[in-house]
């Protein structure tokens, strides 16, 4: 398996993967909108590809903000159902974090499992002074301080525009 940047020719297969991984169509619709959004960051749109060229997993991270400061919002992340729990999601997470560090980004923020994401260093966002768009998310709203993180960055988090239509 290799992790590489997604390109436009991958999109039908990526969208089919996301539709297979999530029972509701929300994530696939969001992904279509993220591909067209000004906040789309090609360097942070990654696929996990098998040796046969099949896309097994996908993750996107888009521009977001903490107050007026740049940040990143991760998601959706998906792995084909038959390939879950084999390390593909972890490989995509590690590649995303490495790419974001290479870009000198300060933070990645996400909404997700409190059992899964802490293994990558994510902590409840409010512990870093980052306020959630929806307080009901509680500890599921998490953040990761990257290598370029400057302490004191705090405020309300704002996802890229397509997230507002969820």
Domain range holding 59? 2-165
What's the pTM? 0.95
Q: What is the pLDDT of residue 151?
A: 87
Q: What is the pLDDT of residue 122?
A: 98
Q: Can you read off the two tokens belonging to residue 32?
A: 């279509």
Q: What is the pLDDT of residue 38?
A: 96
Q: What is the pLDDT of residue 152?
A: 82
Which CATH number is 103's domain given?
3.40.630.30
Q: Can you read off the two tokens belonging to residue 111?
A: 């909404």
Series of mean pLDDT values for 10-residue runs along the chain (166 residues):
96 97 93 96 98 97 96 97 96 98 98 97 97 96 96 92 86
Number of domains in the chain: 1
Are residues 27 and 76 in contact, defined by beta-carbon separation less than 8 angstroms?
Answer: yes
Cβ partners under 8 Å of residue 98, min gap 6: none
List, as one string, the DSSP characters of 63-120. Answer: EEEETTEEEEEEEEEEE-GGGTTSSHHHHHHHHHHHHHHHTT--EEEEE--TTTGGGG
Q: What is the pLDDT of residue 165?
A: 80
Among the listed residues 65, 94, 101, 98, the one whose alpha carbon sits nearest the alpha carbon of residue 77: 94
């Amino acid at each position: 398996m290799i992790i590489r940047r997604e390109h436009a020719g991958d999109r039908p297969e990526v969208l089919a993967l996301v539709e297979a991984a999530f029972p509701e169509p929300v994530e696939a619709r969001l992904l279509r909108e993220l591909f067209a959004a000004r906040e789309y960051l090609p360097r942070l749109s990654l696929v996990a590809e098998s040796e046969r060229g099949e896309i097994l997993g996908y993750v996107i991270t888009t521009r977001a903000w903490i107050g007026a400061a740049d940040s990143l919002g991760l998601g959706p992340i998906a792995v084909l159902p038959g390939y879950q729990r084999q390390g593909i999601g972890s490989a995509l997470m590690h590649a995303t974090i490495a790419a974001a560090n290479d870009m000198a980004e300060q933070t990645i923020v996400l909404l997700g499992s409190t059992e899964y994401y802490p293994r990558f260093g994510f902590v409840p966002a409010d512990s870093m002074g980052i306020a959630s768009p929806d307080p009901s998310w509680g500890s599921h709203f998490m953040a990761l301080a990257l290598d370029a993180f400057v302490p004191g960055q705090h405020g309300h988090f704002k996802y890229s525009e397509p997230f507002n239509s969820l």
